[in-house]
Structure 1
């Protein structure tokens, strides 16, 4: 089983202007560095939460339909395609009318067959592929405020502490990490 991002977010959840305001930086000399810190903080946040923040594309491969559980990296926006390898070894695309998508809320989404069972798929490595979109939305403001605040704190910590330090981990404060707790994916 595998998961890979097929398209990156079009924007970051925190803009360069927001980060510079938070950092109290009023010049352009460090814009490249601050932009890199924004991306690093977003990526770290997504890993900690096991979520997609800004809508992006994903491809999830499984060995069989029985492995199909909760769709990783919620919130699920839509399923683009569901493909499988049939008995003859040919990849087929399942018609969207043959399955239901549960993408309610910001919890991990699910898929289920309309007919009560999935079609026969070869039981082999990566025989089922789900292509989908996940994220809170296309705008930075779609991302919950506490998550955006954590990203700003992480950017501030990395900006202030540019050298790796074993005694002061980046964003190690319990309060800052606590901002993410309500959004963590615990089921997967």
Structure 2
């Protein structure tokens, strides 16, 4: 089941000023580079943990409703279902009432329970269902667990210090694993 990013986070786990302080950079010549490295560091931590740090909206595309009534969400932590549509054979979308879904946010990976009798069958055999969800720890960096923010700092510093070093010399520091392993979401 593919997950398509609809809207990324509105903020990063670190501000430019926080990143520059952490990197001990006192000039503005590399602000654009550091800003892009913050985004890359966040994305790296998200990939290592299989979590999104700050709220993002995603679309899950399915061919059919699952027989079990359970949809495992590939982006975590799941916060809520915000929209659902089925697509007919002509390509027209029909809204499905959100009351037909329950987001089980206590699990990792998150699960959406589908009320079997309350959802119409899609008319299109491929990609006939679109389910929009919000995933993340919250809307701001304050909601992100502090070890994951520290992991973003570690990756940021590593990227900044090793931007010209290819190969094994550019391996992440061992301390990164200690920060991300407790937060890694296992795959189903």
User: TM-score surpassing 0.5?
Assistant: yes
Listed as ranges, the matches of 1:1-188 within 5 Å are 1-66=1-66, 69-86=71-88, 90-104=92-106, 107-115=108-116, 118-122=119-123, 124-171=125-172, 173-188=173-188
Residue by residue over 1:103-156, the C-alpha shift from the partner in whole angstroms, topping out at 9 and shown as x without a partner, is 236x22222233567532346211111111111111112111111111111111
Is the Cα contact below 8 Å between 1:64 and 1:122 reproduced in 2? Answer: no
Is the Cα contact below 8 Å between 1:64 and 1:123 reproduced in 2? Answer: no
Q: Which runs of 5 or more structure 1 residues have no equivalent in the other structure?
A: none
Is the Cα contact below 8 Å between 2:91 and 2:124 reproduced in 1? Answer: no
TM-score (norm 2): 0.88
Is the Cα contact below 8 Å between 1:76 and 1:135 reproduced in 2? Answer: yes
Q: Which runs of 5 or more structure 2 residues have no equivalent in the other structure?
A: none
TM-score (norm 1): 0.88
Number of positions where the alignment pairs a residue of Structure 1 with one of Structure 2? 186
Cα RMSD after superposing both structures:
2.2
Is the Cα contact below 8 Å between 2:11 and 2:141 reproduced in 1? Answer: yes
Deviation at 1:174, TM superposition (A): 2.3
